[in-house]
Amino acid sequence: MRGFPVLALVLLVVLAAAPGAGACPLTGTPLSPTLDSPALLPSTADAGSVEPPILWRRSTALGRPNHGHLRDGVQLPASGPTWFTWDWGLDTSPNRDWRRWGTDRLVRAIFTVLDGYSAAFPDAARVGIADLSRPQGGNFGKQYGGLGHASHQNGLDVDVLYPRADCLERPALRPSQIDRPRAQALLDAFVEAGAQYVFVGPHTHLRGPRRVVQVLGHHDDHMHVRIRSG
């Protein structure tokens, strides 16, 4: 996955001017997308904006998202200029360290999309990133807090909070709180970045290619993004 897809950036810029795309107070420093940057160094992580620095290494997703493990995962930092993290188990931010592990490919994809989103919506609040996988993957069920996950087992899944119209950095309590133009732009960007699936809630009215974007219960407060293994 090399840089932010040009088509996705165009979509974000167009939707940024759409009616209903409300302005939010700026939180953090907006970053411009790096269209030709090497995939190993996403601009968000390369800008010296996170501490400690991310330990990049080649990861392996073993097995399936609903029955698998993660080898040599990469940890998403608790927060940064374009994102904050949310803990489903404690219903607070930041998310705990052991809930923020994914393949290097997934973490790069997150940064790629966030950089483009921030450039298109420089007045937007930071994007909320909830659970990825546990450090070695494996079961992530209800015993770990919240509703638990049937998947999120091999470092290919991430929960992304929908942007809120009131710009608060927390999940939407009901679909009417979602900033739909920006949520749609974020969804489109993940699709353009190569997501295998994006699951959205039945009351969000978000749309995308049928083979990729699918409606699923318990997803009215976040989209579930799954990337391809390689």
Half-sphere exposure of 209 (CA within 13 A, CB side): 11
State residue 51's pLDDT score.
76
Backbone angles phi, psi at 69, to 5 degrees: -145, 170
Whole-model pTM: value is 0.83
Q: What is the rounded (10 degree) CA torsion for 48, 88, 169, 193?
A: 60
Statement: residue 133 has pLDDT above 80: yes
State residue 28's pLDDT score.
35
Domain 6-227: state its class: alpha beta
Q: Are 61 and 106 in contact (CB under 8 A)?
A: no
178 strand-pairing partners: 164
Q: What is the pLDDT of residues 24-45, one digit of tens each?
A: 654 333 333 332 333 334 455 5
Q: What is the pLDDT of residues 140-183, one digit of tens each?
A: 999 999 888 999 999 999 999 999 999 999 999 999 999 999 99
DSSP line for 70-133: EES-EEPPSB-SSEEE-BTTTTBSSPPGGG-EE-HHHHHHHHHHHHHHHHH-TTSPPEEE---B
Domain boundaries, the chain: 6-227
CA atoms of 216 and 222, how far apart (whole Å): 11
pLDDT average, residue stretch 113-124: 96
CA atoms of 66 and 214, how far apart (whole Å): 17
Statement: residue 6 has pLDDT above 50: no
Q: What is the pLDDT of residues 181-215, one digit of tens each?
A: 999 999 999 999 999 999 999 999 999 999 999 99
State residue 18's pLDDT score.
45
